[in-house]
């Protein structure tokens, strides 16, 4: 228990009445001291607490667990055999130094949201207060309770021979209000998570920001919409780099800026209001992310941080619907406004792709020459969360009419798209296009240090409705996905694409953001009542790819 800490915060009228989604006509500013407890009570209210709230020592994983769960649907796994009998393709291999692992993010797995001095993040408000924001009003209050069960989680992945565990640090644990006073207890917690990884023979990879913005910064200046976040992020990164920079070899600054910037506009009334038009907010966010990332990168280098520093980009392969030149142009705009928005500045020019630049500079957001020089080259490899592939095409009424009409729903990218079926129903549909996708990344952004598929994974349709554990564990469709995805990476490597690592999402079922626990991405089932973990068949399928194809 830490002593009650008081922080000076700026309160405005909008958040004094933050329980409802009404925005106030007038606002006032006061500077006040508030305890962390009172801040929680005002902004979030009561939270659920797990039965287990001290760090648990790992219990050894029983050898009976280390064989795949029995098949329910077809007899392809003879008893005791890990995969269907299948011949090896001798022209494929993962090089010896190819690194692979599993991933998670703080708010999705940790729980213990109020413990040991953690301050609230925007996700505590989104789950507790925002009306209809999260399916079934589920929260991350307890989640997988990994805050206390990490030794068990690490032991379970180590038992399967997993090499890397990629997780994120909770900014509002380190800085309960986002800036100001550091919470030493949080640092000690992550010291032990990191050390526990090494003790188990698993290498930790750290992400500094996986969407859980400290609420204090959202209340103070709308988070990523304001340039002040750059200094605050760099101050946070500095604490992490100084603490773990000589130990941790793999660093990511931010996870998927496209996704979290497009999360703006957040529902109004829960935090400071903004006059930035809803559709423009993502570009303010992106601008500040690029500056924050780049400064953090240079800071890491100047502090002598060992290993690699990059950010996790995301997106999907873009397939032109037809061979028309309009669809080709739409595809290019889609790359520009997705991957290229962050990748062109960081890997190529220090600045946005021309199409994006035209739009962003119309908002008054421009990088100076010095900033461009600072941004360019700030990633030691290309980390891509590569889940999907989609068809793209020009809008029905043509590209030009969209580009000249800011009220067109597709503006400003103006690329129209279609999924075969929605992501929550398993429609990520990526594996066929993975080799082309990875080759595109290599040819377009020419990353030094190669490509890491920093997340990929699959939600089985309707898995959350299953009630029989054996049925849940035999995740045939996800297994097929991992089977195909691994072969797609092998194919890419065989074609000469420099893929150096991959991280499967996710080691356990967890809080899938606005979809709560209704959508499952885990390679382990978690009984959320008992917090017991059970390997699913897909985990064995994933691991097996390395058993068969990685050079010893």
Residues forming contacts to ligand PNW in the complex (CB under 6 A) are 105, 108, 255-256, 259, 314-316, 385, 387-388, 455, 505, 512, 521
Cα separation values, 352 from 344, 366, 394, 528, Å: 6, 9, 22, 44
Q: Which is nearer to ligand PNW, 245 or 286 (CB)?
A: 286
Tell me which of 339, 455, 512, 541 is the catalytic residue. Answer: 455
Nearest Cα to Cα of residue 508 among 163, 143, 206, 164: 143
Q: Which is nearer to ligand PNW, 363 or 514 (CB)?
A: 514
Cβ burial, residue 332 (10 Å; 0-12/13-18/19+) = middle
Judge whether 107 and 94 are in contact, CB under 8 Å.
no
Report, in Å, the least distance between residue 108 CB and ligand PNW.
6
Judge whether 313 and 385 are in contact, CB under 8 Å.
yes
Residue 250 CA, chain-centre distance (Å), reads: 15
Residue 219 CA, chain-centre distance (Å), reads: 23
* 548 token code pair: 């068969």
DSSP state of 70: P
Cis-peptide, bond into residue 304, ω within 30° of zero: no
Report, in Å, the least distance between residue 103 CB and ligand PNW.
8
Report, in Å, the least distance between residue 256 CB and ligand PNW.
5
Q: How far apart are CA 336 and CA 302, in angstroms?
A: 31
Helix axes 354-362, 278-302, angle to 10 degrees: 110
Helices (H), 387-468: 399-403, 434-445
Q: Which is nearer to ligand PNW, 170 or 388 (CB)?
A: 388
389: phi then psi, degrees, rounded to nearest 5: -140, 145
Q: Which residue has the tokens 């194809």?
A: 549
Whether 256 is catalytic is yes
Q: How far apart are CA 421 and CA 418, in angstroms?
A: 8
Q: How far apart are CA 153 and CA 507, in angstroms?
A: 8
Report, in Å, the least distance between residue 58 CB and ligand PNW.
25
Report, in Å, the least distance between residue 314 CB and ligand PNW.
5
Report, in Å, the least distance between residue 275 CB and ligand PNW.
28
* 259 token code pair: 């996704």
Q: Which is nearer to ligand PNW, 226 or 512 (CB)?
A: 512
**Could you give the dihedral angle defined by the CA atoms of residues 155, 156, 161 and 167, in that order, rounded to the nearest 10 degrees?**
-80
Report, in Å, the least distance between residue 441 CB and ligand PNW.
14
Evaluated on CA atoms 278, 283, 286, 292, the torsion sign reads: negative
| 232: enclosing H helix or E strand | helix 228-244
Report, in Å, the least distance between residue 336 CB and ligand PNW.
16
Q: Which is nearer to ligand PNW, 189 or 520 (CB)?
A: 520
Tell me which of 203, 256, 460, 463 is the catalytic residue. Answer: 256
Residue 194 CA, chain-centre distance (Å), reads: 19
What residues act catalytically? 256, 455
């Amino acid at each position: 228990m830490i002593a009650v800490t008081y922080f000076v915060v700026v309160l405005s009228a909008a958040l004094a009445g933050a329980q409802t989604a009404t925005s106030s006509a007038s606002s006032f500013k006061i500077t006040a001291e508030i305890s962390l407890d009172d801040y929680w009570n005002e902004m979030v209210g009561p939270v659920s607490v797990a039965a287990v709230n001290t760090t648990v020592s790992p219990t050894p994983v029983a050898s009976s667990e280390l064989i795949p769960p029995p098949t329910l649907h077809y007899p392809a796994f003879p008893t005791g055999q890990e995969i269907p009998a299948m011949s090896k393709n001798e022209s494929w291999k993962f090089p010896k130094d190819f690194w692979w692992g599993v991933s998670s993010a703080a708010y999705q797995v940790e729980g213990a949201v109020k413990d040991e001095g953690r301050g609230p993040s925007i996700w505590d408000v989104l789950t507790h207060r925002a009306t209809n924001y999260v399916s079934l009003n589920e929260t991350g209050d307890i989640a997988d309770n990994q805050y206390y069960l990490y030794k068990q989680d690490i032991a379970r992945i180590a038992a399967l021979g997993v090499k890397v565990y990629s997780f994120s640090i909770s900014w509002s644990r380190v800085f309960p209000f986002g800036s100001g006073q550091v919470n030493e207890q949080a640092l000690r917690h992550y010291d032990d998570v990191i050390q526990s990884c090494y003790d188990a023979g698993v290498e930790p990879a750290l992400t500094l920001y996986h969407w859980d913005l400290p609420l204090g910064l959202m209340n103070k200046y709308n988070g990523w919409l304001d340039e002040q976040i750059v200094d605050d992020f760099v101050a946070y990164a500095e604490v992490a780099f100084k603490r773990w920079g000589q130990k941790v070899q793999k660093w990511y600054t931010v996870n998927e800026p496209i996704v979290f910037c497009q999360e703006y506009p957040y529902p109004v009334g829960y935090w400071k209001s903004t006059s930035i038009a809803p559709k423009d907010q993502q570009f303010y966010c992106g601008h500040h992310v690029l500056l924050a990332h780049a400064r953090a990168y240079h800071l890491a280098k100047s502090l002598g941080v060992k290993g690699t520093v990059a950010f996790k980009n995301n997106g999907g392969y873009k397939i032109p619907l037809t061979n028309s030149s309009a669809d080709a142009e739409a595809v290019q705009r889609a790359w520009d406004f997705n991957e290229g928005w962050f990748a062109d500045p960081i890997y190529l020019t220090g600045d946005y792709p021309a199409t994006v630049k035209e739009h962003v500079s119309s908002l008054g957001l421009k990088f100076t020459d010095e900033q461009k020089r600072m941004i360019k080259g700030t990633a030691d490899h290309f980390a891509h969360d590569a889940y999907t592939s989609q068809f793209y095409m020009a809008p029905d009424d043509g590209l030009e009419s969209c580009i000249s009409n800011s009220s067109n729903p597709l503006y400003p990218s103006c690329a129209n798209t279609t999924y075969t079926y929605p992501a929550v129903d398993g429609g990520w549909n990526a594996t066929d296009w993975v080799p082309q996708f990875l080759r595109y990344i290599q040819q377009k952004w020419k990353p030094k240090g190669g490509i890491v598929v920093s997340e990929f994974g699959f939600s089985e349709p309707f898995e959350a409705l299953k009630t029989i554990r054996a049925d849940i564990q035999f995740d045939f469709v996800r297994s097929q996905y991992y089977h195909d995805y691994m072969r797609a990476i092998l194919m890419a490597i065989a074609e000469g694409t420099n893929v150096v690592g991959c991280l499967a999402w996710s080691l356990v079922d967890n809080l899938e953001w606005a979809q709560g626990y209704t959508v499952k991405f885990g390679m382990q089932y978690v009984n959320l009542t008992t917090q017991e973990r059970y390997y699913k068949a897909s985990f064995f399928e994933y691991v097996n790819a390395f058993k068969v194809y990685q050079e010893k």
